[in-house]
Structure 1
């Protein structure tokens, strides 16, 4: 506690000195050091993730952004179901100033088609042409609609060229094992079904409890209305299941090897190794259990458990999770783990209810600029880092806090992409430090398997028959996947699968696949992929 208080006092003092010259509006080269031009305005920013809880105004980074842009932020996040909250906001007809949501969400197209958001390029033309200097040309091209406008700007956008030109762009998808338990059972090969099954059983046998609570042998992301990424997309990617064959989209959900692995998970469930928690837990519950080290292994996005990894590390470095090779196909082919894509992760849009669209576009332009990205990533020079021989070096006390107490770090400093909504991971590579953290091994393990697969990211126009069919097919799969894992026998598994295949045909699956492939062909042309 004393350390935290001392850090707060130190930060406030340094910030007062630093901000005394921030408002001068100086320009550095082509970068605008400040875009303030009047009173500070508070913009309501809706983030469509219930887990996001970083505030604004208490830390160094957010205060510096406000000083430089004249924009203060009031974050709004859903309490409960994100989709229900977002739909309610749209139906109310009164939108927050800024909206950030997943690029794949159907509400993206809905907001555009209902004329509820500004064209960012038109705001740039009217208020701030600086947008054209600082925006990523490929991202703008990718998100430009048929009418020539761009309505949302992405975070974490990556192109095939970025992946080709950088050997340190990885994937978020990992197969994780708890280090001490994995080593105690002999660091087994878990790439085969036999090896995987034996390792899970041995871990449960040797370590039935973790600090008095039952060990959960297998962890996964939550089940939602389109399935479970751990038990469908991630396993398929680890097995290197192709996305297309013979000039058409491949049906990955019925790939024979993938189905054999699903049957193995069914057997593990029948024998009590797939805990009920896996089927019912929401993200907050999973985070709590990860922080306790309750899972033996997980098919999981490592960035979603980074904070919990640091908690484990602070308690016992041997109790952290490490990435190892996971399920592989019978040929032993390398995993194909997707990098981020041109679509990125989320898009941020400016609503037509925005109280100050001029300040909003200037705010976005500042954050996507090199100056803004460096601030969001590294923080403030002299407070969070120093430049040594032309390279940024994170201050030792700041780094220690980052690696042991992310919540306090965000409250005091707020760098390291705490405000990730417009982050540019490729640009930030130029400032990447040599510091190691409890998640370094997880990230670097993915480099060898990372590939660009963004051409297969398809989002169908909202309020169309294709979009309706797609939602029905996804909902059918979501229900089917749980039934397959909970089936009482392989024979019941097969029956459920055949019912799924026939039902989706009735829904219009075959025609939908053909149309989806047309989007893939266009995406390949746009991205320059042969």
Structure 2
């Protein structure tokens, strides 16, 4: 019996034949990989935390069997930006590169002609791309020269958000369940309620398993700020992105400033631990796995593995999502979904000696068959079909919910290889969710909103991009200074100095230019 994979390969070959007849002038190429013609592609992932291997898991072996491609992952050991810049400067980019869509190196690699146009590779080697790609994502990423150089993962359109009631946000306000319930499950939506809850948690639980409780957790501080204390807090307070046809200055919104002053006060009283200002991701993950934070504005997807470890030890020690900071009107939070930009983009380097195999490999992964494999795994090994629906095998689900690292090594499904994942496509195979992170995700459904029109990336190596980076660096420094200021008067002085220095850098002019990009994005997305 012909398998679905065989059918796909036959269609791919047929597509190439058809291309010849419509005048592309290309020889027909049989892109079905022969078993003896396996290759290895080097794939750079621009995240130091990524440590999933290739070759031992069920999914990676199945992908290699189906495509003839092995993968050698390369990740930075230290600073991601320094590693990627070194690869670019030395001209030694690996075959595939995955990085955040917002990173300036994306435009840099395009402008320096270091990456292939994916559509041109598709035209030459594999027109199947046009059957399996997300048309709106391709349109969004098409450059002014008519080419697309990077393909996104986790791309979501405004239409996807409107037509699905189970697309959420990864931004949550989390509290440790047992501590929160022990202090009476307080209302933490107001400044007064938040302060009281934090103080009470620290007083009743000064230690967790012999180690100091960290009352308030946060993402790491970087060269543009701290998303927990700026973007996420602003989103929970429903601070608008624009007002009266102009971009709104979210960083100086009065209610947002009131909440920052509350955090300043808590720091003065010793409730903002030094840890949150200096810890990097690995230290944060260790402390999450120990359940040492009481509350935090945090991406739940970034602590899923630690949540499962906590659950395996004590289900009451996990984190739960609850109503967090709100504005004085009590408005619901506006929590961004993924956008049409997605999370990362994957590019094919011009150093790649097998660009034909690279585009075929990419096309397989973004196809329905590839997505089903990456998400569910291999039928009969990781899941069974019951009444037409996939059901994860009990022993597989148990391992997934208790030890993600071992699960990835053995099975490698559930988007362990997330670099080209299509979360919207995967919704149709989604089994009934019983994970320790289920409540965290489902809590966001009612508040998820599309805000991708405001994601503006200025062209690299331009004056605007330079000014933008200077203003972000100024905010990063200012935010820390505000939180650790010794008095409210000092806080106000720091904030005023920030406004003055920002304006001197050209903030108002930059905002006007950024809004031009927003207007174009709205038009492109069909948003009023």
CA contact (8 A) 1:227 1:477 kept: yes
Q: Secondary structure in 2 aligned to 1:322?
A: strand
Q: Secondary structure in 1 aligned to 2:89?
A: helix
1:222 paired residue number: 220
Q: 1:212 to 1:151 in 2, by over 3 A?
A: same
Match of 1:36 among 27, 33, 36: 33
Could you tell me which runs of 5 or more consecutive residues in structure 1 were left unpaired when the two chains were aligned.
Answer: 1-20
Length-normalised TM-score, structure 1: 0.95
CA contact (8 A) 1:306 1:439 kept: yes
In 1: Cα distance, 2:461 partner to 2:433 partner: 48
| Structure 1 residue 435 displacement after superposition | 3.3
Match of 2:471 among 454, 470, 473: 473
In 1: Cα distance, 2:142 partner to 2:326 partner: 38
In 2: Cα distance, 1:205 partner to 1:506 partner: 45
| Structure 1 residue 35 displacement after superposition | 3.9
| Structure 1 residue 24 displacement after superposition | 10
2:130 paired residue number: 132
Matched, 1:333 2:313: no
1:11 paired residue number: none
Matched, 1:257 2:255: yes
CA contact (8 A) 2:9 2:32 kept: no
2:428 paired residue number: 430
Match of 2:201 among 200, 203, 206: 203
Counterparts of 1:405-416 in structure 2 under 5 Å? 405-416=403-414
Counterparts of 1:4-43 in structure 2 under 5 Å? 26-27=6-7, 35-37=32-34, 39-43=37-41
In 2: Cα distance, 1:369 partner to 1:314 partner: 35
1:182 paired residue number: 180
| Structure 1 residue 80 displacement after superposition | 1.1
2:457 paired residue number: 459
In 1: Cα distance, 2:12 partner to 2:335 partner: 38
2:311 paired residue number: 313
In 1: Cα distance, 2:303 partner to 2:457 partner: 27
Could you tell me which runs of 5 or more consecutive residues in structure 2 were left unpaired when the two chains were aligned.
Answer: 14-30
2:520 paired residue number: 522
In 2: Cα distance, 1:271 partner to 1:473 partner: 30
Counterparts of 1:343-358 in structure 2 under 5 Å? 343-358=341-356
CA offsets 1:6-58 (integer angstroms, 9 cap, x no match):
xxxxxxxxxxxxxxx99996216997699424511111100000000000000
1:8 paired residue number: none
1:14 paired residue number: none
| Structure 1 residue 355 displacement after superposition | 1.8
2:392 paired residue number: 394
CA offsets 1:123-142 (integer angstroms, 9 cap, x no match):
00000000000000000000
CA contact (8 A) 1:337 1:450 kept: yes
Match of 1:296 among 294, 307, 326: 294
CA contact (8 A) 1:152 1:347 kept: yes
CA offsets 1:104-129 (integer angstroms, 9 cap, x no match):
00000000001000000000000000
Counterparts of 1:267-282 in structure 2 under 5 Å? 267-282=265-280
In 2: Cα distance, 1:96 partner to 1:445 partner: 40
Query: Which segments of structure 1 move beyond 6 Å, counting only runs of 4 or more?
Result: 21-24, 29-34
In 1: Cα distance, 2:97 partner to 2:3 partner: 27
Q: Secondary structure in 1 aligned to 2:310?
A: helix
Q: 1:127 to 1:32 in 2, by over 3 A?
A: closer
CA contact (8 A) 2:12 2:127 kept: no
In 1: Cα distance, 2:32 partner to 2:383 partner: 24
CA contact (8 A) 1:25 1:32 kept: no
In 2: Cα distance, 1:239 partner to 1:290 partner: 25
Match of 2:140 among 136, 139, 142: 142
CA offsets 1:347-378 (integer angstroms, 9 cap, x no match):
00000001210000000000000000000000
2:72 paired residue number: 74
2:417 paired residue number: 419
2:50 paired residue number: 52
Counterparts of 1:350-389 in structure 2 under 5 Å? 350-389=348-387
Matched, 1:167 2:147: no
CA contact (8 A) 1:23 1:67 kept: no
RMSD between aligned alpha carbons? 1.5
